[in-house]
Amino acid sequence: MTPLQRELERLLPAGDHLVDPADCWSYGADNSKLHAVPEAVAFPRDATTVRELVRLCRTLGVALTSRGRGTGTTGAAVPDHGGLVVSFEHMNRIVDVDPANRWLIAEPGVTNGAIQQAAGQEGFFWPPDPTSSAYCTLGGNLAYNSAGPHAVKYGTPRDNTLGLAGVAGTGEAFRTGVHTTKGVVGYDLTRLLIGSEGTLAVLTEATLRLTPRPEATRLIQAVYRNVDAAARAVSRLMARAEVPSALEFMDHSAIAMIRDYAADCPLPADAGAILMIETDGTEAGIEATTAGVRRAAEGEGCLETVSADTPEATQALWAVRKALSPALRTVAPKKINEDVVVPVSRIPDLIAGLDRLAAEHGIRIVNFGHAGNGNIHVNLLVNPDDPQELAAAQRCLDAVFSLVLGLGGTLSGEHGIGLVKRGFVGRELDPVALNLMAGIKQQFDPDNILNPGKAPGPNIRPVT
């Protein structure tokens, strides 16, 4: 038994830790399909225990990787340095809901869906809503700054979190932020920690800013002849006073895949792009808002718009978009999924460039995502068990990132860096910025025990 395992036996009850490699195996992977077996797994039940675990790892000089449900796609929760995985499945309490002050306080192991349910009972919601909301946890949402469709109007976790509690790599507990919607005392450590992928601190609690639930919602499906026409419509829609509450995009390759999967696809034969546009507001004003949004969606290159104002009609329109996920799983169960972001006006250039790269490398690429903020999910359909095809996909992915940065974009909108993208960080961030980030890491985690190797800095190296 290792020193870490012996100390865990002393510190935690039998049911709150694992040391057998067979038991630890499943805590070594996330949805990136990368895997590394940790030395041990701990299941803390309170912030005091988290602090003791951080102090133990610092004393022993072993790595500590925080973990939610493992839905991330970039390997940030993969313990590639071994050591201890801290899983927050027992820290899953909603501590307080205060509708008068519009906040909710929760532990990191609470699922996004549970937060929405608790907030909904008081007439509110928390805007970040990843597609995995029923399963993913608050801690993971904060670690990646993961949002979802409604970020286009309501923002990301950084915009909807008032404060945090956590433990730095020194083993010191601290709090950041406020319980008010305004506050400017000191540096904004709350926004710094959100998106840091567990490299600066282990989060133990978050105070979330809630938003009143809209009285009514409507959905519009707009079909376009090509991506250029859809992108022009996005620009018109985002220039309106009533910003859509969701604005989702599918390109021609995604439409073709849906047709292959669903024989009864109701889309026009010459459809080259689709926007799914959600509006929300008051019962008294929703029809006028939806009519204005629909007019903005129409224009040159628009083939048709269809509006849904009942739950049944809305479900029928979403059925087209929902058909894409099973189609992708059927064709490429091990696809490479990236979430790049470009300025909205450059979406046509991105899609055209991706079409060119698909042809050059012999890799089928399907694109969809959050059009309102230019966050496009680029799916490389590849069989990783074929060495030649996988090598071609990696060359293609390298070119995809160069294309995105050349268009003034960024490598990740909500999936993070983790292991998968760490070799590309230096292309986006300049050496001075990387050195400043390395200094921040040093201040929070002087012994580099928190998720080592994944923080951006001058010595970051690509995964092999």
Host domain of residue 318: 216-325
Residue 167 lies in a domain: yes
Edge-to-edge strands, sheet with 173-177: 94-98, 103-106, 201-209, 161-168, 173-177
Let me know whether 69 and 157 are in one domain. no
Let me know whether 104 and 204 are in one domain. yes
Let me know whether 121 and 83 are in one domain. no
pLDDT class for 462, splitting at 50, 70, 90? very low
Give the residue-averaged pLDDT of 29-41: 94
pLDDT class for 75, splitting at 50, 70, 90? very high
Let me know whether 108 and 200 are in one domain. yes
Is residue 208 within 8 Å of 161, Cβ to Cβ? yes
Question: CATH no. for residue 64?
Answer: 3.30.43.10
Task: State which of 61, 87, 113 marks the end of a domain.
Answer: 87
Mean residue pLDDT across the chain: 93
Give the residue-averaged pLDDT of 308-330: 83
Let me know whether 120 and 83 are in one domain. no
Give percent of the chain above pLDDT 90. Answer: 80
* Pair of tokens at residue 340: 């790049």
Residue 307 lies in a domain: yes
Question: How far apart, in whole angstroms, are the C-alpha atoms of residue 398 and residue 328?
Answer: 22
* Pair of tokens at residue 447: 């012994």
Residue 180 lies in a domain: yes
C-alpha angle 309-313-314 in degrees, rounded to nearest 5? 75
Let me know whether 279 and 185 are in one domain. no
User: Has residue 11 got a pLDDT over 90?
Assistant: yes
Give the residue-averaged pLDDT of 30-51: 96
Let me know whether 99 and 199 are in one domain. yes
Let me know whether 243 and 305 are in one domain. yes
Number of domains in the chain: 4
User: Has residue 357 got a pLDDT over 80?
Assistant: yes
Question: How far apart, in whole angstroms, are the C-alpha atoms of residue 48 and residue 42?
Answer: 13
User: Has residue 464 got a pLDDT over 50?
Assistant: no
User: Has residue 341 got a pLDDT over 60?
Assistant: yes
Residue 453 lies in a domain: no
Let me know whether 344 and 235 are in one domain. no
Give the residue-averaged pLDDT of 387-415: 94
Task: State which of 184, 212, 240 marks the end of a domain.
Answer: 212
Let me know whether 112 and 56 are in one domain. no
